[in-house]
Chain A
Amino acid sequence: DSGVTQTPKHLITATGQRVTLRCSPRSGDLSVYWYQQSLDQGLQFLIQYYNGEERAKGNILERFSAQQFPDLHSELNLSSLELGDSALYFCASSVEVTGELFFGEGSRLTVL
C-alpha cells in the first residue's frame, strides 16, 4: 500500500460527458502528480501541483483541468470526453522533488 488513494477505481461514461477523478496523497506529501497511461502513448505526465500551486504542466489537453485543495487532495477534471480519453489515470505524490514518487492504483476510465 503506497498510501496514495484514488477514487473511483473504475468509471464508465459516454462521449461528451464530464468526470472528476480524486486523489488523496500520502500524509505529509505536498506534491501531487497526474499521469495518463494508455497502450499507444505509454505513461504521459499531465500536471503537477505543489502545496496548492501548479508547478509543472505536461501534455494536458485544454479539456482537462486539475486543482489541489488546502487539505492537499487533488482532483482531475476531464470534460467533453472522447473515445481516445479512455485510459488509466494515475496520481502520485512525493514529499520532496526528488523523483521518488508514490503512485496510487489508478482510476480506469472507459469512454463509450
Chain B
Amino acid sequence: GDSVTQMEGPVTLSEEAFLTINCTYTATGYPSLFWYVQYPGEGLQLLLKATKADDKGSNKGFEATYRKETTSFHLEKGSVQVSDSAVYFCALTVYNQGGKLIFGQGTELSVKP
C-alpha cells in the first residue's frame, strides 16, 4: 500500500542552522506530495506542496523538490528560526482516492536561540 517514511526526531538545531528533514514515499499511482506543519496546541497547516516530478514547492523559506527517481521529498530551510519549532509531517495523496492524505510519522523540530 501507499506509505510515507520520515526521518525520526526530535531534531534539535541552533538558530540560523540549516535544516533537512528526509521523506521518502511508496505509492501505487502518481502521487502529489505535501509538507504539513503542526505548531504546539494547533491543527496541521499546509506548508508546501508539489504535484509532479521535479516540481519544487516553497513557502516561508522552506523548500522541497519532488524526486521521482529517488521517491523522495526532503524538506529544507537555509536558516531556521526559533519560531520554526514545530512537528513537520510529510504526506501524499493519490489521484482517485478522494484527496485523503497519508502521513508520515512526523518529525519534531526544536530550534534553540
- The residues of A with any CB-CB pair to B shorter than 8 Å are 2, 4, 31, 33, 42-43, 45, 48, 50, 55-56, 58, 90, 92, 94, 96-106
Q: How far is the CA of A42 from the CA of B106 in the complex (A)?
A: 7
* B103 CB within 8 Å of chain A: yes
Residue among B41, B42, B98 making CB contact with A55, cutoff 8 Å: B98
Using A2-B45, A98-B93, A104-B43 as known contacts, say yes or no to A48 and B98 having CB atoms under 8 A apart: yes
* B27 CB within 8 Å of chain A: no
CB of B34 within 8 A of CB of A42, answer no
Nearest CB on A from B39, distance (A): 11
Q: How far is the CA of A45 from the CA of B102 in the complex (A)?
A: 7
Residue among B42, B46, B92, B97 making CB contact with A101, cutoff 8 Å: B46
Q: How far is the CA of A96 from the CA of B106 in the complex (A)?
A: 25
- The residues of B with any CB-CB pair to A shorter than 8 Å are 32, 34, 41-46, 49, 89, 91-93, 97-106
Nearest CB on A from B29, distance (A): 12
Q: How far is the CA of A112 from the CA of B76 in the complex (A)?
A: 41
CB of B43 within 8 A of CB of A2, answer yes
Please give, as numbers and ranges, the residues of chain B lying within 8 Å of A98 by CB-CB distance: 32, 93, 99
Please give, as numbers and ranges, the residues of chain A lying within 8 Å of B100 by CB-CB distance: 33, 45, 48, 56, 58
Please give, as numbers and ranges, the residues of chain A lying within 8 Å of B89 by CB-CB distance: 43
CB of A105 within 8 A of CB of B43, answer yes
CB of A42 within 8 A of CB of B105, answer yes
Nearest CB on B from A38, distance (A): 11
Please give, as numbers and ranges, the residues of chain B lying within 8 Å of A100 by CB-CB distance: 34, 46, 49
Please give, as numbers and ranges, the residues of chain B lying within 8 Å of A33 by CB-CB distance: 99-101
CB of B103 within 8 A of CB of A42, answer yes
CB of B101 within 8 A of CB of A101, answer yes
Q: How far is the CA of A55 from the CA of B49 in the complex (A)?
A: 23
